[in-house]
Structure 1
């Protein structure tokens, strides 16, 4: 094996890593993989075909020496201490100007720390979010890189080749300095949580109030995927609802335990939004519902204590129309909250994010890809100064007709004891954001009463305090 001959290096040959490096090799780049596990190295070499210029090793020095300068090394390893350990293992063999790319779901603060640390050693560090799951990694993900703009030019040809494409445009773009890439990926995942929660709620109310069967639901979601709800999540929901149980009778979805797990990115999105003072209730409640789902035994006991008085079945055609409109409304509101967070974070952290660019690279390859992102891209391109999607006249014309359906469906959930927290939180957020006056004047009066926290007035400038007790 010759030294300094391979275009691209990848550490971590699990499913994602193996698929990504094969994707790189598919596009004509020579690639070298590294993993401490002999089996994973062997698996990669077996899967590669004669057309691939690909190799791999369990030895760090062999791996690093194989890459030409400046080295482009991507890490697809679990977030946290593993990333730091891999970096420390690579450092003794690197040269000035080499580039390390973290492709995992690292917390953005960790990315800032690592970039600063490696900069002191004259090594470039990128945080690059990769979305699309294992299939996306193999055939075209959405990639969200942030870091040194100059260093990005070195990896740009590879990333643009392996990324998903939409209307001929690669779903990858330089997003901004420091941890911009990991931050955008974090919010992407938060939006993903919100969309998944909304989809599950619509499935639930159609099943429990409308009495829909799985075949009927499959057909309905498949139909919706041909219209304005067209998206990856609606598409896979239709597929899931059509899957028979290979270990018993009926459909597999009915036998899956209703306890959802999470890896933390949704929680990070929610926590950081609170730090920034940005309301993201559709994301917050999606995280909370996954946490609530974990208490299965308690839920079973509580269910026996609090019987539900159902309001009866609903006309299926009407329920169907309400559900489609409500899901569209919920999707728009979730994206709107996510983009609002990105906009404010960009100012706070100096990311210089371009919202149309973010929307564009999400149109294909990633989990939250949807036809709706075309409208979002268009809205941001036409109104560069817009701070929130709800302020766009085009979206106002789309949202206004859905509101009666949203309110009717939410009421159906309440009357039948079916939780619709994603939808109801989206509606409450909408009603709050579009209200010309909120009752927070009373809260300010209360704060001033018990804590002398002061208040402002509508009719004159200044800061005021009142002695409320006679």
Structure 2
């Protein structure tokens, strides 16, 4: 294991960022955290002596010894861009910024070039593990120059499930976020397959299938056993009807980017594409088309049309 760095500034202490701060603190890293929510800052500071939550970006970054490591765990897009613009004047040559957002890889390449011109390193880090990563460790996919990766490696070895597994230097800047983008596209497809399979079983009412029991038996030795199946089984143990759940599934953007990349490269990705389109449908974006289909049937066959 590489020597653990003394400190890091962690910007963004939401569910994932906060759990990362806790894991780093348990691994011996001093964390100078910042979040816009005062309650979040206060709660984390009270939990670990290794975590100091600051009330400003300036305070968090100024508390670091130089050269600095600053890890951003913010939503991709405008918030990340604004924060980067805010902290840039506070940084010096030799510092390294790690972007742990689900950012578009081309944006990460542009940011890396911008920071490189100032002598500041940039590492794009795709982070997977969700709310469970604090206990189980995170899978981390890194893009950047070898020297910057070497600086970040001790942190990654603490955050990963183990120092020698669960993380990878995928390639140059952009590679980390590209691999994470494809990872999330695959996730869309796997989730859609499980959802459709269980919907088929739920619809076969005459067999009176116990979906919780089915999901549990599949977890042990089956070809489709996985963490997603584990989570599905946990859900069905609590509630098999899901009657109180709104049938709407947001998409975070990475599925869209994966499909766009497939088109750009000419690589067929029908499962991922269809899973993305089904999310659009769940958001009501298929409603107009369905209404028009109903009116077509009425026009050529005289079929009745239901009124909202």
* TM-score between both structures, scaled by the size of structure 2: 0.87
**Secondary structure of 2:168's partner?**
coil
In 2, Cα distance between equivalents of 1:116 and 1:212: 60
Partner of 2:304: none
Partner of 1:67: 64
Q: What is the CA RMSD across the aligned residues, in angstroms?
A: 2.3
In 1, Cα distance between equivalents of 2:140 and 2:190: 20
Deviation string, structure 1 residues 215-239 (Cα, Å, up to 9, x no partner): x111111111112222011111111
Query: Quick check: 1:105–1:185 contact (8 Å CA) kept in 2?
Result: yes
Query: Quick check: 1:45–1:55 contact (8 Å CA) kept in 2?
Result: yes
Partner of 2:264: 275
Deviation string, structure 1 residues 278-323 (Cα, Å, up to 9, x no partner): 11111000011111223376698678998xxxxxxxxxxxxxxxxx
Matched, 1:262 2:251: yes
Distance change (3 Å), C-alpha of 1:95 and 1:175: same
Q: Which has the larger radius of gyration?
A: 1
Once the two structures are superposed, the pairs formed by residues 7-46 of structure 1 within 5 Å of their partners are 7-46=7-46
1:170 is displaced (CA, Å) by 2.3
Unaligned runs of 5+ residues in structure 2 are: 298-308
In 1, Cα distance between equivalents of 2:203 and 2:78: 45
Distance change (3 Å), C-alpha of 1:205 and 1:300: same
Query: Quick check: 2:281–2:287 contact (8 Å CA) kept in 1?
Result: no
- The aligned length equals 290
Once the two structures are superposed, the pairs formed by residues 365-376 of structure 1 within 5 Å of their partners are none
Deviation string, structure 1 residues 354-384 (Cα, Å, up to 9, x no partner): xxxxxxxxxxxxxxxxxxxxxxxxxxxxxxx
Once the two structures are superposed, the pairs formed by residues 68-467 of structure 1 within 5 Å of their partners are 68-137=65-134, 139-165=136-162, 169-209=164-204, 211=206, 213=208, 216-227=210-221, 228-244=223-239, 251=240, 253-295=242-284
1:30 is displaced (CA, Å) by 1.3
**Secondary structure of 2:127's partner?**
strand
Distance change (3 Å), C-alpha of 1:6 and 1:41: farther
In 1, Cα distance between equivalents of 2:296 and 2:215: 34
Distance change (3 Å), C-alpha of 1:259 and 1:149: same
In 1, Cα distance between equivalents of 2:165 and 2:176: 16
1:211 is displaced (CA, Å) by 4.4
In 1, Cα distance between equivalents of 2:258 and 2:250: 16
Query: Quick check: 1:270–1:284 contact (8 Å CA) kept in 2?
Result: yes
* TM-score between both structures, scaled by the size of structure 1: 0.58
Deviation string, structure 1 residues 50-89 (Cα, Å, up to 9, x no partner): xx41212122222112112221111011111111211111
Partner of 2:306: none
Deviation string, structure 1 residues 17-76 (Cα, Å, up to 9, x no partner): 111111100111111101233222112212x23xx4121212222211211222111101
Which is strand-richer, 1 or 2?
2
Query: Quick check: 1:139–1:162 contact (8 Å CA) kept in 2?
Result: no
Distance change (3 Å), C-alpha of 1:304 and 1:169: farther
Query: Quick check: 1:132–1:142 contact (8 Å CA) kept in 2?
Result: yes
In 1, Cα distance between equivalents of 2:152 and 2:135: 18
Partner of 1:454: none
1:210 is displaced (CA, Å) by 6.2
In 1, Cα distance between equivalents of 2:41 and 2:257: 33
Query: Quick check: 1:141–1:164 contact (8 Å CA) kept in 2?
Result: yes
1:273 is displaced (CA, Å) by 0.8
